[in-house]
Structure 1
Amino acid sequence: MKFFPLATALAFACPFLAHNSFAEELTLRAAIDRALANNLGLRIQSLEPEIAQEAVTSQESQFDPTVFSRANLSQSDLEWENSEGRTNQTTSDSRSYALGVSKRVSSGGQLTASANQSRNDGSSFNPELGQLVGGELSERASLSLEFTQPLLRDFGRDVNLAPVRRAKSQARVADLETRNAVYDLLQNIESSYWRLSDSYQRRDLHQSNLELSEKLLEESRERERLGLSTKIDTLQAEANLAQRKEQIIRSEQSILEATDALLSLTGELDDSVDLATNVSVSQLPNNEATLDNFQIVLQNALDNNFDSDIQEEILEQLEQSRILAKNAKRPQVDLSLSSSYIGLSPESAKDSFEEAFDRRGDDWGIRLVFNLPWGQRGAKSQLRQTLHRIDQAELRLAEIKQDLLRTVRSAWRELDTSRQQLSAAKLVVALQEATFEQEQSKYEEGLSTFRILLEAQRDLDQAKLSLLDAQLATIQAEVALARVEGSTLERHSIEWNSPSSPDRN
């Protein structure tokens, strides 16, 4: 595929899809490379710039030279009787050929150069002489040059190049939309990657709690046997263990769902993937994300907002449509100038062309064409529609910029809040760990009940889950802010070396 040559090479160099599991850890960078190379949605979108560029070529081809040729042949043979009962006969043989080239120019004019040759031969039967008489052979050649220039409608470069400029704007939109798709994919792949990591860590936490619950159940049974606790304590320990097993079952399902989501984004989810496939990924980062000054983030977002760039291109396309709609209101007044060198010969076409090249004869002509639809209702209506669409597009551009401001403010606040929650969650985990250890010691010394110990364990579990929530929320907020700010490529050390080709460093 042409779109991501480097990413594709990386994907083929280190394929990672297996039927059951992934022995090696899949890094975030590797997941991004494979997504850039294989994501189906991105591969579909990556064709749009090429399609749009072909549309530009199609519009530019309207100014390419055109070679033409024509050939006509007609013959007739007629017999009739006159008033004296005599038979008359006439024959005719007419042939014409033309070869030339025409080219449209950006002013709207059409230039045509051609070489023409015609042959006429006719005769009639004289019954008195008993033979065909008359009908001298006539060969005519001409070398012609004609230029037709619209004077009102279709006049000027602005009008005639408007379709080309509009096609080029549409090509830029296709490129911007592809860039948008790349940014969205990078955001989605990173978010999906860390959600899978979060699912694994939750499963590991539940597994650790399961082992602790099994240990507490053994201790409770032993204490019951020694008469140090009641049957109720043992039942509570058994119920607690059952809850831990249920949590692990749900965690395993979450892992599989998150794995499918990641494989789908990397374009490698197909019927060969086992239903219980696992992908090993990195753990959630434990460090707090950095947060730049809001004004810096806002300025970066304004500079890198593809949606507003796309809307500005739409305004450019509508401006070209306005030029064309305004042009359609003008009357058609076309002026044609033509000039030819001609040659005649009663013998051969070659002689007639020699006469033409020697400029033995010439002719010229002027033609003026006028055409104006009555009332011009259709053209006027089209122009008004275009002007209304321009007003809509300008309002939409203002709305996009307003939405961007709101989105940046919200994303910046979200990351700021998440960072604070992460710091608080770390403190709560430290507190709950100390509390649980204290209650466990008191329980072993007979100074606390099993219920209080279970409550301390649940509080610790909840604190650890809240810490995972805070870690995931922080990194998701960081990813979202990078997307809004337009720094996603820099975040993953990706450079956009051409209009449709991002490469990894």
Structure 2
Amino acid sequence: AAAQAAAQQPAEIVRRLSIDEAVKLGLEQNLGIQIQRLDPQIQDVGIAQARSFWSPQLTSGFSRQSQSQAPTSSLSGAATSINNGRFASTLGLNQNLPWGAAYSANWNSSRFTTNNLFSSFSPQLSSNLNVQFTQPLLKNFSIDQIRQQVLNSKKVRELSDIQLDAVILQTNRNVKNAYWDLSYTIDNLKTQQESLRLAEQSLADNRKRVEIGTLAPIDIVQAQAEVASNEERVILAEAAIKRAQDNLRALILDPAAPDFWTTTFSPTDAAPFLEQGIDTDAAVRNALDKRSDLRAAKNSLERSDVDIRYLKNQILPEVNANASYIATGVGGVQLSPVDFNAIAAGQALNRSILAQRGYGSVLGDVFQSAYPDWTVGVTISYPLGTNTAHTNLARARLQYQQAQTQLKNLEMQVATQVREFARQVQTNQKRVQSARASRGLQEKKLEAEEKKLAAGMSQSFFVFQAQRDLALARTAEIQAIADYNKSLVDLDTVQLVPVGAGAGGGGITTAGSGTLQSGANAIVRGQ
């Protein structure tokens, strides 16, 4: 049954992989990068959404009205009931303009019928064009809420690019470190297997010595215990390889691929040890210029500049220049005036048609400005005492000072972190040199103990101890080389993005967050 279950498991696919190929796969298939790549597109939509407040709006409407009223006096215009009918249509266009102005244009038309004797037209055709224009001269002239939102949307779009770059660089660092971890675990397995081979060889030699009577039987038990201990280390090393395979697989492969869990990697690049000189001061200067968290903080300050500029504008008096133009046209069937003498004499009322003006004539009056109505004026308003605009500006200025101090604190943390990673490179470089020397000495020590045991001048215990010391020295050497290469990766990365949990010290305050907008469109600003 066990053999059948093993046969049903899919065969593993061994894939030879260089570190450059691993990085390329990570950039193409890493889910974190794919998620972050959508954010700039989302922010592009945000910019379009902010700009949409400048888009013109077209309105239209139609209505039909029928009305009957009872006459309440002799001058009501009818004997039994007053019947009115109206069909009206309207077409309008309004828009907020990018320089703060706003306009509206409405074209209204109607056809009115009535049996009221005092009406000069029945049916009556009317049309008018109404154009309104408003231009702020102080408040909302240089910047208004729409322009503020557009500018901030562009800054948020720039921030999304910074964040995408950061995710790519962090993924690049994680892939390289996972590759070196896998390379270390494979080398560590080889070291543990070599230790197991030495322990098994010692067990075989001890058994021969017991057979010929040159060694006590108790030494066989000690050799068997050493073999068992080394077997455990081999098992743990194999588990560590599987764990490292999973870590690298999750970073560079597409989980939807059918061979995702069955693909294993065979690193083709051995962890090198190339001594490098570290210019810590140059690394700090590079980080202060290029670190993503500092760039994001400066982006936040730029958004604060926009907010403060807007809030300073809002404390100005509201002075608006207004202009309006109305053109009107009237037509239809024009009736003769009512003959009140004939009514008083009880004669029949006969009204003749004086003129008939069609809808085309009415439109001609409108477009030829036959009856124009112009209005030009200025409106001024200014709140007395402390208002919302002043408190918002005071709050934003304090937040801006706070953000500048936070930026300085963040720069100090960045410099400290870069210096720490530079020290780690130097420390790991010395570790490799020390571990190599220790490994060489442990090899000589084991060789000497084996010769002494063969000459009857030592005991198995000292041989086993020398084997363990050599295994530890070899493990320490490959671990130091792996740590050295990872520290080089970290030093390159920390100059561009935060590295490690809580790195970078967090963001900074955006001036203007939490301010209130007064008026009908009051909103709570959230950053």
TM superposition score category, shorter chain reference:
0.7 to 0.9
Structural mapping, 1:256-335, within 5 Å: 256-269=242-255, 278-282=264-268, 284-335=270-321
SS in 2 for 1:108: coil
Given candidates 357, 360, 365, the residue that maps to 2:367 is 357
Matched, 1:68 2:59: yes
Deviation of the 1:178 alpha carbon? 0.8
CA distance in 1 between counterparts of 2:107 and 2:174 reads 65
Structural mapping, 1:68-217, within 5 Å: 68-80=59-71, 87-124=79-116, 135-157=121-143, 160-217=146-203
Q: Find the counterpart in structure 1 of residue 337 from structure 2.
A: none
Q: Structure 1 pair 138/367, CA: closer, same or farther in 2 (3 Å)?
A: farther
Gaps of 5+ in 2: 1-8, 333-356, 499-527
In 2, are the aligned partners of 1:289 and 1:478 still within 8 Å (CA)? Answer: no
Matched, 1:30 2:21: yes
CA distance in 2 between counterparts of 1:361 and 1:119 reads 19
Which string of whole-angstrom CA distances, capped at 9 and with x for unpartnered residues, describes residues 371-409 of structure 1? 556755443333333223222221221122111111111
SS in 1 for 2:400: helix
Matched, 1:379 2:389: yes
Q: Find the counterpart in structure 1 of residue 490 from structure 2.
A: 480
Question: Which stretch has the larger CA shift, 221-230 or 132-141?
Answer: 132-141
CA distance in 1 between counterparts of 2:103 and 2:120 reads 40
Deviation of the 1:111 alpha carbon? 2.4
Question: Which stretch has the larger CA shift, 230-239 or 31-40?
Answer: 31-40
Code of the residue aligned with 1:254 in structure 2: it is A
Code of the residue aligned with 2:31 in structure 1: it is L
Deviation of the 1:271 alpha carbon? 11
Deviation of the 1:191 alpha carbon? 0.8
Deviation of the 1:217 alpha carbon? 0.3
Q: Find the counterpart in structure 1 of residue 520 from structure 2.
A: none
Question: Which stretch has the larger CA shift, 444-453 or 252-261?
Answer: 444-453
Deviation of the 1:353 alpha carbon? 0.6
CA distance in 1 between counterparts of 2:43 and 2:10 reads 39
In 1, are the aligned partners of 2:64 and 2:87 still within 8 Å (CA)? Answer: yes
In 2, are the aligned partners of 1:284 and 1:472 still within 8 Å (CA)? Answer: no
CA distance in 2 between counterparts of 1:81 and 1:387 reads 68
Matched, 1:454 2:445: no
Deviation of the 1:247 alpha carbon? 0.3
CA distance in 2 between counterparts of 1:311 and 1:240 reads 58
Matched, 1:244 2:230: yes
Q: Find the counterpart in structure 1 of residue 322 from structure 2.
A: 336
Q: Structure 1 pair 67/291, CA: closer, same or farther in 2 (3 Å)?
A: farther
Q: Find the counterpart in structure 2 of residue 51 from structure 1.
A: 42
CA distance in 1 between counterparts of 2:63 and 2:315 reads 39
Which string of whole-angstrom CA distances, capped at 9 and with x for unpartnered residues, describes residues 177-218 of structure 1? 111011111111111111111111111111111111111100
Question: Which stretch has the larger CA shift, 479-488 or 420-429?
Answer: 479-488
In 2, are the aligned partners of 1:82 and 1:88 still within 8 Å (CA)? Answer: no
In 2, are the aligned partners of 1:123 and 1:134 still within 8 Å (CA)? Answer: no
Q: Structure 1 pair 336/122, CA: closer, same or farther in 2 (3 Å)?
A: farther
Backbone CA RMSD of aligned residues:
2.8
Q: Find the counterpart in structure 1 of residue 437 from structure 2.
A: 427
Q: Find the counterpart in structure 2 of residue 502 from structure 1.
A: none
Asked which structure has the greater CA Rg, the reply is: 2
CA distance in 1 between counterparts of 2:69 and 2:19 reads 90
Which string of whole-angstrom CA distances, capped at 9 and with x for unpartnered residues, describes residues 290-344 of structure 1? 2342233223222221111100111111222223333444454433201233333
Deviation of the 1:19 alpha carbon? 4.8
Identity %: 23
Deviation of the 1:66 alpha carbon? 2.5
Deviation of the 1:56 alpha carbon? 0.8
Q: Find the counterpart in structure 2 of residue 437 from structure 1.
A: 447
CA distance in 2 between counterparts of 1:452 and 1:170 reads 67
Q: Structure 1 pair 277/239, CA: closer, same or farther in 2 (3 Å)?
A: farther
Deviation of the 1:349 alpha carbon? 2.1
In 2, are the aligned partners of 1:89 and 1:124 still within 8 Å (CA)? Answer: no
Alignment size in residue pairs = 464
Which string of whole-angstrom CA distances, capped at 9 and with x for unpartnered residues, describes residues 451-492 of structure 1? 22122212211111110121011011101001023399xxxx
In 1, are the aligned partners of 2:18 and 2:269 still within 8 Å (CA)? Answer: no
Deviation of the 1:265 alpha carbon? 1.7
CA distance in 2 between counterparts of 1:366 and 1:274 reads 74
CA distance in 2 between counterparts of 1:372 and 1:472 reads 70
Deviation of the 1:345 alpha carbon? 2.2
SS in 2 for 1:124: coil
CA distance in 1 between counterparts of 2:445 and 2:289 reads 50
Matched, 1:232 2:221: no
SS in 1 for 2:487: helix
SS in 1 for 2:80: strand
Gaps of 5+ in 1: 1-17, 126-131, 489-505
In 1, are the aligned partners of 2:329 and 2:371 still within 8 Å (CA)? Answer: yes
Which string of whole-angstrom CA distances, capped at 9 and with x for unpartnered residues, describes residues 50-89 of structure 1? 11111111112222232232334333122347689x9432
